[in-house]
Amino acid sequence: MNTEDTVAVCSRSFSRNEVLRKELLSRYSKVTFNEAGASLVGDGLVKFLSGATKAITALEEMNESVLSQLPNLKVIGKFGVGTDMIDKRAMRRFGKHLGWTGGVNRRSVSEMCVSLMIAMLRHLPIANKELIDGHWKQHVGGLLSGRTVGIVGCGFVGKDLISLLRGWDCKFLANDLIHFEDFYRENNVQPASLKELLSQSDVVSLHLPLNETTKNLIDGRHLNYMKPSAILINTARGGVVDESELKRMLKSKRLMAAAFDVFSTEPPEDTELVRLDNFFATPHLGGSAEEAIIAMGMSAINGLDDCSLPNIE
């Protein structure tokens, strides 16, 4: 057991998980958990991490201001697969290390994507609402089988989603900065420009990080490329879609439906959007399968020792 380092666990879900708590405490004797379940930001985050030599973070924003006030902090173990909340340039500048493994929750997110696709194609959310309200209306939907599915961002989750949908006889279009030639060939995936993908797909699923190049990437112009019969799924990051433009498209029936697990502000502030009959919202559940939580937690724990200066390329 490590008796020298002091570990602070910012993540609320990690702090509540008995399996992860037990594993971390078996390795470190000095651990502080976020027992209060507080949302840690700014000065509150600095105060919580003050004196810790290692930390486990999830969605907490580790920016230059925060990092500059934590001289004792040596390592961050990342709980979760996205690193957009961590200023990696500042970490490198301050000599802090990052323990992170990509894609450990890929199956949890990709399975949820499939469920959202089917739910929206079969009009399940509105049918459920109507039934609860006493209305028996049998909506006629469509099959996922045989559809053209566009994958925007063909990383860990995008690839796993394609592997799941291969048995559904779907046609795949992919858009990514990297051309995964071998994967595309082996899985009969057609690379496409973003405009081509949006205009040809029946279902578009987003799997992008949030950064300067992807913020509001799917704006009004791009949404207008989509078929009126198409469905947009976002289980990646809030902020990659212009939500006001999406609402306009859905209200005018210019886009059939959308299902989002992530929002630019969480919880979402636009109640009009989330209440639309052709919009389905979930509270950032993509990685919340028990198996994925354990895998992400173990990755964060292992990352406290197996770490490096962050790659900023």
Active site residues: 237, 266, 284
Place of tokens 């000065």: 43
**Contact of 65 with 88, CB cutoff 8 Å:** no
Selection from 255, 223, 257 nearest residue 240 by Cα: 223
The beta-strand segments (E) located in 48-153 are 54-57, 75-78, 97-99, 148-152
Dist CA 61 CA 42 (whole Å)? 8
Specify the DSSP class assigned to residue 308.
B
| Contacts (Cβ under 8 Å, ≥6 apart) of 33 | 9, 14, 15, 21
Dist CA 73 CA 56 (whole Å)? 11
Give whole-number Cα distances, 52 to 32, 74, 79, 173, 185, in Å. Answer: 9, 8, 17, 46, 48
Give whole-number Cα distances, 134 to 126, 130, 171, in Å. Answer: 12, 6, 38
Dist CA 280 CA 275 (whole Å)? 8
DSSP per residue, 149-210: EEEES-SHHHHHHHHHHGGGT-EEEEE-SS--HHHHHHTTEEE--HHHHHHH-SEEEE----
| Contacts (Cβ under 8 Å, ≥6 apart) of 22 | none
